[in-house]
Amino acid sequence: MSETQQPIERRFQGVGVSPGIARGTVFVIRPEDEELPTRKIDESEIPGELARFEAALVKTREQILEMQQRIAESIGTKDASIFDAHLLVVEDRTLIDEVLRTLDRDRWNIEHVFHQVASRYAKTLSEIDDPYLRERALDINDVCRRVLRNLMGHEAKSPAQIDVPHILVAHNLTPSDTAQLNRKLVLGFATDVGSRTSHTAIMARSLNIPAVVALRNVSEGLLTGDHVLLDGYSGLVIINPSDQTLWEYGELEVKKSAVDVKLDELRETISTTLDGRHIALSANIELPSDVELVKQSGAEGIGLYRTEFFYLNKEELPNEEEQYENYCIVAREMGNQSVIIRTLDLGGDKFMSALQLPAELNPFLGWRAIRFCLERVDVFKTQLRAILRASALGNIRMMFPMISGVDELRRANAVLEECRQELRNEGIPFNEEMEVGAMIEVPSAALVADLLAKECDFFSIGTNDLIQYTIAVDRINERIAHLYEPTHPAIIRLIKIIVNAAHAHNLWVGVCGEMAGEISLTPLLVGLGVDELSTGAALVPRVKRAVQSLDVGVCLQLVDEVKNMESAEAILEKCEAVAKTYYPELMV
């Protein structure tokens, strides 16, 4: 190659999980598989192996606690709590007991036994059709490697040892790897695997490091020393960016910086259209610690509190007092602002070992959410009592997930009334007027929305599941993920049916799925008559700006133009055209 000839630009497309643009030199971390010792042992050696195992667990726990403390001091206790899941692995009696049984039965050295048992556990979780639980398999693998290193007396290789500015590239980065990154030297990172829900992605956002995941084979296509540009917004990694690409991204950075400044100024403003229609703008949370992000975003309340995450990190079912205290924290923090608590969407692919739920061939169509609760009334009533009690302290609302028909909603309301009566008899205060809603996530519920409207106070459309069930597309399945289309004509018609039914019965209706945060679809949702949008806290300012830039008449015209269109792609193009006309700075 001559000195004047530039290397060819190459692009990898992944998923942007932490916004920002980074340019720099790559440092590739390649896994170095350590060979585990494997040997048969005599019965007399078992006590010694047990002692080594116990010492390794103790040391691993100390290392995790030390790392947790370091992270808490540098970026806060909320992000340090990520390592609670690692501590649970070290202290998991089910896992430990299985290791002890296998050691006694098979008589292999403890490194071999622990690796085999932990790998089976991780494999089981990795095959579950739920992104959150699949990511927990990474926690087990991370802790397993740490325990094995302690058993063998080896020192861990850490990305923190890199002492020059770089963009980190790896097949995968564990949460502990990410937590130890030197923020002054790591410009960004890219991995072959991962998702928006991974702990690594959460840490990247907390550290404010641009990150792209799900690049498939980027770690194989790059070499240490390569020059790359990483786009955490669109999920692009560009190798050997051309002068033209660098110029374009320089312009993009300037524009995005200017937009971010303006969005920060919107926090105290209300999401009202140009012609005066107010669209309530809320945020979704998983844990009480997320409330601070909601406040910072300028949201008007919490539109979806996913309570199952409080269950998933427990080895035992949380009792009424635990849940009550949990909900009270959120109620007090939010003051007079609305907090909508979704009763647990547990079962099927989201499970707890304490419940011993049966494995199902088709978990998304199985024993989950309200179906599970109506059969396990003991679990259901414990949560309902806790929610009712918390309603005395704030503006609490509640909604039932995955309602498929009137009978389910009536049965859920009947159990709720039992709990109300119990609290009355016990003299425990609660809000007698607490609003109760139904989530519309199943096509059957959408089609009988006029009947459901007589049995509740509001609707919340869970578009993620509504799209999945309507089009019969598992969006986790890479082969058919392209068929997951929010602007499919059937989805638009179903949303209109739901909104019309709600308004005919003087109910308000919200959207709490991913569609709520897609600013290209904001004109469509406003035109369809949606009253509330609830999205991730980070997206609230962008959605607010979109709403404030729109005129309802324009949105109604958009709906009129697309209502008879046959193509999801064509409808999306129409929506994007409106968005680019009224808030072009957000669509860059």
Task: Determine which one of 144, 199, 373, 555 is catalytic.
Answer: 199
What whole-number distance in Å separates Cα of residue 131 and Cα of residue 560?
A: 37
What whole-number distance in Å separates Cα of residue 228 and Cα of residue 26?
A: 7
Burial of 417 (0-12, 13-18, 19+ CB in 10 A): exposed
What whole-number distance in Å separates Cα of residue 330 and Cα of residue 291?
A: 7
Q: How many helices (H) and strands (E) does the chain have?
A: 24, 16
- Torsion, Cα 298 301 303 308, to 10 degrees, reads 100
What whole-number distance in Å separates Cα of residue 262 and Cα of residue 240?
A: 33
Strand partners, 266: none
Nearest-10 crossing angle of helices 377-390, 406-426: 60
Does the annotation mark 488 as catalytic? no
Handedness of CA 313, 315, 320, 322 (dihedral sign): negative
Nearest to 516 by CA among 502, 526, 507: 526
Query: Tokens in use for 228?
Result: 């790359």
Looking at residue 237, what DSSP letter applies? Answer: E
Query: Tokens in use for 76?
Result: 């806060």
Task: Determine which one of 419, 512, 555, 575 is catalytic.
Answer: 512
What whole-number distance in Å separates Cα of residue 378 and Cα of residue 367?
A: 16
Looking at residue 357, what DSSP letter applies? Answer: P
Q: Which amino acid is at 528?
A: L
What whole-number distance in Å separates Cα of residue 415 and Cα of residue 385?
A: 10
What whole-number distance in Å separates Cα of residue 28 and Cα of residue 20?
A: 20
Q: Which DSSP string corresponds to 371-404? A: HHHHH-HHHHHHHHHHHHHHTTSS-EEEEESS--
Does the annotation mark 171 as catalytic? no
Question: Is residue 310 within 8 Å of 318, Cβ to Cβ?
Answer: yes
Terminal C-alpha separation, the chain? 36
Distances (CA, A) of 152 to 48, 109, 148: 14, 11, 6
Question: Phi and psi (nearest 5°) for 289?
Answer: -65, -15
Cα 184 to chain centroid distance, Å, stands at 27
Query: Tokens in use for 256?
Result: 């995005």
Residue 465 neighbours by CB distance under 10 Å:
19
What whole-number distance in Å separates Cα of residue 32 and Cα of residue 139?
A: 19
* Catalytic residue IDs: 199, 512
